Structure 1
């Protein structure tokens, strides 16, 4: 792997965590118009410290650790490990999403099979389960699928969907993770933005629907999706619009946070893709210095885990 690709891969992880922490203080608040500055100041509903990430990155860390250990993230034993890690975290975390909490806290056993069953039960009870909680954590998964081999994108798509299904049953959630992971991988390898690339990896009857959704995002502003950005589709559209209209990593994250409402998640999603486009060095130094969160990690720890994940492939 060349230096540029390495830089972009780590950028995907750091960019997602930084977006999460930047948006933490603005979560559930109205959109923030220009020229009001967006700052890594913490605060918000859960009184975050400046630079502290939220559930988005906390749930991503076990995925990154699985890769750092050299594990196959789509293997059932690895999926069991993710469920166990998330369930332990959810016992004390203040900010677990409602759907995710309902799945993880009622498990008979901390296994992937039980988690999938609970996710299906949650969906059947509510009639929907396409929140943005699986998309928000998905960026680190890409580091396990950067080999130049036939079928690598398809393997990434299958892993993305398998991990999404642990907590989110509805097809929109899995589709969103597939599209975003494939776009991040493509950005890491080429430096190009192409969110439509993963359409062919969706079920045939889903492709046109998602093509229309993505085209709408291309002609919209992130704030156009504010009212519904807790839904995985609107969160992805808002993040895509933020990245598409930006020329730097910082600009993409700021645009995402300006949307209001679920700011940390939209910015975490945007940060995974923007970080893959611009690389780890594009993250402002003052943000990187502040970045930290569960489980007592800092930015340098995320970098170390990312490097281990890349070396293990």
Structure 2
């Protein structure tokens, strides 16, 4: 694998990053749907869109992960905090009640679903939507927090949909992080869920700034710096800190990039596992077959911590969008959600205008990724929501 410090963000316009990050979320979600609930190594390697036998769906159907991300993107792009006072700048803004209205419409009526109905929903999302609908809006979120803030409700339902916030509010990292936390509270008020959404959104904001800026700093954003962001984040949740930071017993981190990377490979929990797994599979001939750790070493369950770590591992252990996507979905268990979370991050990192580079030189576009795009069900729906988010984000940038 190419060193992390040598892998730098692919440059593109904000509009391209937003469009392709949302498209990537949907593509890898749909790719992973058939492997959901399956044990790792118990099924043939998935590298193309195949039917989802669990729900009786044809190839290319994305799941609740993408539907909820699209609902959030739609709300950010179209909500009006006060419908009686239209904004002169146009619609759009962060409104938790509008977000819940979109989620409720998806749950009940199939709004922004690939097949016109909600065919799968997590228990916590279902419970909070139901509770919200029974409460006075003025107290609904207080009731949700009282009922669902325990760690037993720390599923991945808010992390899986959070990508639009970093894509829209990328120029202001602090605001993006605040909104990411608030977006989690609507259905997942547990502190771990909030902090997972916050750190993930902070990274998306950093990537967008580097990829879309005219500054020379953009070419210096490497995957090693992404790892450092996670490692140095001021976590309040010990389990996130233990999984994503260097241990307190580690020696001081060197300054030189190559030495720093060796340091992370020796002491960081994710990179230690990457290095150990690479050494076991160094003789591997079939580059398509994922060289994954065991499910015990790298869980890919619906627990938000497991999903975040598995998606980040998929990004750090691979060097192209396609390779990481195939790795992520073949982890099994909550494969569609790990795939969707990976897809949003990796799409933001690797994506560029399709004609900007020849296919063989692209880290994003490949024959297989083209096939995923062409097989994706209701791709136009994803693209339409993305265009609204592009316009909304552009207005935010113009107003700064």
Matched, 1:71 2:71: no
Matched, 1:245 2:317: yes
Cα distance in 2 for partners of 1:60, 1:195 equals 24
User: Aligned-pair distance for 1:65?
Assistant: 1.3
Q: Which sections of structure 2, spanning at least 5 residues, go unmatched?
A: 1-10, 79-90, 110-117, 212-220, 245-267, 275-291, 355-363
Confirm or deny: 8 A CA contact 1:175 1:202 kept in the other structure.
no
Cα distance in 2 for partners of 1:303, 1:218 equals 33
Matched, 1:197 2:218: no
Question: 1:16 aligns to what?
Answer: 25
Confirm or deny: 8 A CA contact 2:168 2:389 kept in the other structure.
no
Q: Which sections of structure 1, spanning at least 5 residues, go unmatched?
A: none
Question: 1:49 aligns to what?
Answer: 58
- Partner-residue secondary structure (3-state), 1:183: helix
| Change over 3 Å in CA distance of 1:234–1:116 after alignment to 2 | farther
User: Aligned-pair distance for 1:61?
Assistant: 1.1
Matched, 1:271 2:343: yes
Matched, 1:38 2:68: no
Cα distance in 2 for partners of 1:255, 1:112 equals 44
User: Aligned-pair distance for 1:216?
Assistant: 1.9
CA shift digits 1:37-85 (9 cap, x unpaired)? 4221131321232211110011111221123234222xxxx11011111
CA shift digits 1:246-282 (9 cap, x unpaired)? 1111111111101110000000011111011101542
User: Aligned-pair distance for 1:305?
Assistant: 2.8
Confirm or deny: 8 A CA contact 1:13 1:272 kept in the other structure.
yes
Confirm or deny: 8 A CA contact 2:69 2:161 kept in the other structure.
yes
Cα distance in 1 for partners of 2:125, 2:136 equals 14
User: Aligned-pair distance for 1:297?
Assistant: 4.8
Confirm or deny: 8 A CA contact 1:8 1:279 kept in the other structure.
yes
Matched, 1:140 2:164: yes
- Partner-residue secondary structure (3-state), 1:105: helix
Question: 1:217 aligns to what?
Answer: 270
Confirm or deny: 8 A CA contact 1:289 1:299 kept in the other structure.
no
| Change over 3 Å in CA distance of 1:14–1:110 after alignment to 2 | farther
Confirm or deny: 8 A CA contact 2:92 2:392 kept in the other structure.
no
Cα distance in 2 for partners of 1:217, 1:116 equals 36
User: Aligned-pair distance for 1:19?
Assistant: 1.4
CA shift digits 1:94-135 (9 cap, x unpaired)? 2010111111123314848414522431345xx621101110
Higher helix share: 1
Larger C-alpha radius of gyration, 1 or 2? Answer: 2
What is the number of equivalent residue pairs in this alignment? 298
Cα distance in 2 for partners of 1:273, 1:121 equals 31
- Partner-residue secondary structure (3-state), 1:72: coil
CA shift digits 1:223-263 (9 cap, x unpaired)? 54564521100110000000001111111111110111000
Task: Give the aligned CA root-mean-square deviation in angstroms.
Answer: 2.7
User: Aligned-pair distance for 1:10?
Assistant: 2.5
Cα distance in 2 for partners of 1:165, 1:182 equals 17
Cα distance in 2 for partners of 1:288, 1:260 equals 22
Question: 2:375 aligns to what?
Answer: 290
Confirm or deny: 8 A CA contact 1:9 1:188 kept in the other structure.
no
Question: 2:217 aligns to what?
Answer: none
- Partner-residue secondary structure (3-state), 1:106: helix
